[in-house]
A and B are shown apart, each in its own frame.
Chain A
């Protein structure tokens, strides 16, 4: 049911049509940047840039590789941002996209801190700022269209489809040409799986992909939050009980009028 995109970096030519298509569809303004000594531009994601192609020159097994990879929201299966958002402004839809609703958001930026991929961005130069990030073109998907970046890709480096089928295809490509790929699908297991899946000719950590475990990052926090109702009731009960006991004891000892000043300090 859930949609996914496969990015095959051996097929990407770094034309950045996806970047342009993304800006067009989301009506994002251009950014003024300075030359960083590379074709890569803009230097990083921002509130005005939801996706970009990263250019990496890397040596692997004694061979030189010029590798591209596409950066955007990974649309996790168990998104940290969704669990983090106090008002539920971020939601994972059953179709795959993690969508953002600025009618709920109040700009706390917990999503930005929680995201293990470092994706959500913020409008730092706006007095009335919102969170911004890739929407997986949820609006286009709702109308039966593919995401803008996938539509724009001229070489088939981006493939959109059902997550299960996309995963199967990725495995097929690795088996068919084991020399062209590292035997790993990035996003299959990372933090519980993501809707964006990657194939690469070199190990992913060499391309700057974060090395993440397969455990959803939300698990510990979920467990802690589950303890809230029992703690609430427990603390209220214990405190009321202590109050009642102490009061009763003081009443009993009031007859003797022996002021016991040296009481043990419990707190």
Chain B
């Protein structure tokens, strides 16, 4: 079932070029320093990489823990088919975050200092530890698919190894892994917001609020299903695993509730501290605020509340894009556009900064493409194995 698909060589060729370009820029960085490849300066110490790769990357990878929770904790079986792709993209998302930090950090090879030299008061300490641990958890959550793929490899030498032994071990600890993943995600998704609490003087009042960690968590959970819709629609187009519309509309139905919570928290908090007027007076920042609220919150709430919209694959896809765009704008607002790190500094990313970020995304797309071709990621192993698993009663839902 994996064969006979378009291999789109042109696409992979372009992606490979982008990856190589990113690598070239990385080499320049390690010879001439960060100043040579970026417009970062003392006035603007964090730029595109932190806003896009870290802030957006981590939030957009939230599909992994939300879907793992829905499928394995709440045991909603119909979403089973999308759990693995979600976990894979989440794992790649976190790998990208870590790779981006290899360029962004001054001395990335000392990143392990975070494991031995703790500052428990630093939100970034928590983010660092959680991201590292969670990347491992995601790898373990996904690795059963790799074992299954190896078990039916075309190379007889590899196929003959008993891949079921490690597979069974991972399956036994699957539920604790999922719970750990949810705990770690809750902590670091919110702590990315806590990081900004250190900047009450420089982050614009429209965004600065002590409840930023909660807003970050809620918006990440809301964008989780949107990302899953987005990814599975694309993979349907490219790889042809057609998903049940029931699954898509079920995911879409959750989004308005989550965005509703986000909107209420955000508006009521502004009203509570008497700063609601800023949304009309704080020009030009209020345009950014309205942008993220209308695109990413109000429009999706209205559209996805209509059952007709939820029944159309195309409409659900475009709504999920709105949610994602709104979230990206939100994360750029809080970490770049509305954060006046050192007043008077104007910053626009250098093209080589874009090259690094684009190269990393291309990396991930190549890996996803390979995984879809080589690994059984839209279904799981046969039933006879399933029944023996302690702590798991998820059965094969479809042969899709």
A89–B193 alpha-carbon span in the complex (Å):
22
Which 10 pairs, one residue from A and one from B, show the smallest C-beta to C-beta distance?
A: A107-B106, A124-B35, A86-B125, A112-B45, A106-B110, A118-B342, A224-B194, A221-B197, A88-B119, A220-B197
Inter-chain contact A44/B42, CB cutoff 8 Å? yes
The residue among A84, A113, A123, A247 with the most chain B CB atoms within 10 A of its own CB is A113
- Are B197 and A87 neighbours in the complex by a CB distance under 8 Å? no
What range describes how many residues of B lie at the interface? 35 or more
Of B26-34, B159-167, B231-239, B287-295, the one with at least 4 CB within 8 A of chain A: B26-34
B117 touches A87 (CB 8 A): yes
Q: Quick check: A105 and B107 within 8 Å, CB to CB?
A: yes
The reply to whether B198 and A221 contact each other, CB–CB distance below 8 Å, is: yes
Beyond A104-B117, A106-B114, A112-B42, is A217–B194 a contact (Cβ under 8 Å)? no
Note all chain A residues with C-beta closer than 8 A to B128: 86
* Interface residues as binary, B85-116 with A (CB distance below 8 Å gives 1, 0 otherwise): 00000000000000000000111111101100
* Given A107-B107, A109-B46, A125-B35: A235 and B186 interface contact (C-beta under 8 Å): yes
Query: Would you call B325 an interface residue if the criterion is a C-beta within 8 Å of the partner chain's C-beta atoms?
Result: no
Q: How far is the CA of A239 from the CA of B176 in the complex (A)?
A: 10
Known pairs A130-B107, A218-B121, A231-B186 / 19 extra A-B pairs, C-beta < 8 Å: A88-B118, A88-B122, A104-B117, A105-B106, A106-B109, A107-B110, A110-B124, A122-B42, A124-B33, A127-B29, A129-B34, A213-B200, A215-B200, A220-B210, A221-B194, A239-B179, A247-B75, A265-B250, A267-B69
* Least distance between A235 CB and chain B CB atoms (Å): 5
Interface membership of chain B positions 194-215, coded 1 if the CB is closer than 8 angstroms to chain A and 0 otherwise: 1101111110000000100100
Q: Does B175 contact A (CB under 8 A)?
A: yes
CA separation between A180 and B72, bound complex, in Å? 72
Q: Per-residue 0/1 for A228-267: is the Cβ within 8 Å of any B Cβ (1 yes, 0 no)?
A: 1001100110011011001100100000000001010111
Chain A contact patch, size range: 35 or more
How far is B193's CA from A34's CA once the two chains are assembled, in angstroms? 40
Residue of B75, B78, B124, B341 ringed by the most chain A CB atoms within 10 A: B124
Interface string of B116-160 (1 = CB under 8 A from A): 011111111111100000000000000000000000000000000
Task: Given the known inter-chain contacts A225-B121, A235-B182, please indicate yes or no for A124 contacting B73, CB distance below 8 A.
Answer: no
B360 at interface, CB cutoff 8 A? no
* B199 A126 Cβ-Cβ under 8 A: no
Q: Interface on chain B toward A: helix, strand, loop, or mixed SS?
A: helix
CB distance from B47 to the nearest CB of A (A): 10
Q: Are B126 and A225 in contact (CB under 8 A)?
A: yes
Query: Shortest beta-carbon distance, A194 to chain B, in Å?
Result: 14
- In angstroms, Cα B343 to Cα A266, docked, is 44
A106 B107 Cβ-Cβ under 8 A: yes
Cβ proximity bits A144-162 to B, threshold 8 Å, 1 near / 0 not: 0000000000000000000
B71 closest partner in A (C-beta)? A267
Bound-state Cα–Cα, A129 to B38, Å: 14
Residue of A nearest to B217 (CB): A231
Q: What are some 16 contacts across the A-B interface (CB < 8 A)? A: A45-B42, A80-B198, A87-B113, A88-B118, A110-B124, A116-B202, A118-B342, A121-B42, A123-B33, A125-B33, A224-B190, A224-B197, A228-B126, A232-B187, A236-B179, A267-B74
A243 touches B123 (CB 8 A): no
Residues of B at the A interface (CB closer than 8 Å) are: 29-36, 40-43, 45-46, 66, 69-70, 72-76, 78, 105-111, 113-114, 117-128, 175, 178-180, 182-183, 186-187, 190-191, 193-195, 197-202, 210, 213, 221, 224-225, 250-251, 253-254, 339, 341-343, 393
Are the C-beta atoms of A246 and B124 separated by less than 8 Å?
A: no
- Give chain B residues whose Cβ lies under 8 Å from the Cβ of A5: none
**A111 to chain B: closest residue by CB:** B45
- A250 near B200 (CB under 8 angstroms)? no
- Bound CA span A266–B225, Å: 12
Cα A83 to Cα B124 with chains together (Å): 10
CA distance A123 to B117 in the complex (A): 23
* Set A83, A239, A242, A243: member contacting B183, Cβ < 8 A: A239
Q: How far apart sit A117 and B118, CA to CA, in the bound complex (Å)? A: 25
Q: Which of A80-136 contact B (CB under 8 A)?
A: 80, 83-89, 104-110, 112-114, 116, 118, 120-131
Note all chain A residues with C-beta closer than 8 A to B341: 112-113, 118
In contact, A106 and B111 (Cβ under 8 angstroms): yes
Which residues on B sit within 8 Å (CB–CB) of A129? 33-34, 106-107
Looking at the complex, which one of B74, B111, B175, B199 makes contact with A114 (CB distance below 8 Å)?
B199
What residues of B have a CB within 8 angstroms of the CB of A225 in the complex? Answer: 120-123, 126, 191, 194
Q: Find the A residue at minimum CB distance from B116.
A: A87
Q: Which of B42, B70, B194, B339 has the most CB of A within 10 A?
A: B42
Q: Determine whether A72 belongs to the interface, using a CB cutoff of 8 Å to chain B.
A: no
List the B residue with the shortest CB-CB distance to A108.
B105
Q: Which one of B30, B42, B66, B253 lies within 8 Å of A46 (CB-CB)?
A: B42
Q: Are B182 and A86 in contact (CB under 8 A)?
A: no
Residue in B42, B117, B121, B224 whose beta carbon sits within 8 Å of that of A222 in the complex: B121
A122 to B110, CA, bound (A): 16
Interchain nearest-CB distance for B46 vs A (Å): 5
Alpha-carbon distance A83/B106, docked complex (angstroms): 19
B113 partner, pick from A84, A106, A231, A247, beta carbons under 8 A: A106
B31's nearest neighbour on chain A, judged by CB, is A127
From the candidates B40, B199, B221, B251, name the one contacting A124 in the complex (CB within 8 A).
Answer: B40
CB closest chain-A residue, reference B101:
A108
